[in-house]
Amino acid sequence: MSAAAEWLQPLASRVLPLLDTGTYRAAGAFLAHGFAYLPLQTPDAYTIYLRVSDTRAIARWNVHVPTTVLTVAGATALEMYLNPEDAQSGRPQYARTFGAGEFFAAHPGALYATRTTGSTVQVLATTKPVIDRDGPLYGEAYSGFARQARRYLEQASRAQVGASC
């Protein structure tokens, strides 16, 4: 197992019991930045979301507090801009694609844009709740994203267990 992915199987295994796939427990779920954000109820005071790709189009992402993004499945192309003029002209100061088993940190003050594959699932950890939201997510739409996330988390958990033997 590669050093970059050693955390993937344990993370997927720990997140699975926190994921509620029922339509009646979608409290706090929302759409933003090209993702469905599914809040995870953790035993401590951290703010953690499961992010499931909602679009393959490039999406702007405003980061208000330090944030860590751990990619469990799929891939994310990340672009960072230092000022709005660079973002408008499409000249990123940093651009990279992150696949399963890779992670990155995002910091306030920079401008970000992302593009994901349709199978992207990430764990996003931040010091405060995400405040930029496109709209609430509930009912069958929530359940669909939760089922998709569960499927990819289960695959990541099984794949890594088999690779470590």
Q: Which CATH number is 54's domain given? A: 2.60.120.10
Question: Is residue 120 in a domain?
Answer: yes
Mean pLDDT of the chain: 86
Question: Is residue 65 in a domain?
Answer: yes
Question: Is residue 150 in a domain?
Answer: yes
Per-residue pLDDT of 104-145, as tens digits, reads 999 998 899 999 998 999 999 998 899 999 999 988 899 899
Q: What is the mean pLDDT of residues 77-82?
A: 93
- Give the pLDDT score at 94: 94
Q: How many domains does the chain have?
A: 1
- Give the pLDDT score at 46: 74
Question: Is residue 9 in a domain?
Answer: yes
Question: Is residue 165 in a domain?
Answer: no
Per-residue pLDDT of 19-38, as tens digits, reads 776 655 667 899 999 999 99
Given a cut of 90, is residue 77 above it in pLDDT? yes
Question: Is residue 164 in a domain?
Answer: no
Which domain does 126 fall in, by range? 3-159
Q: What is the DSSP string of 106-122?
A: E-TTSEEEEEE-TT-EE
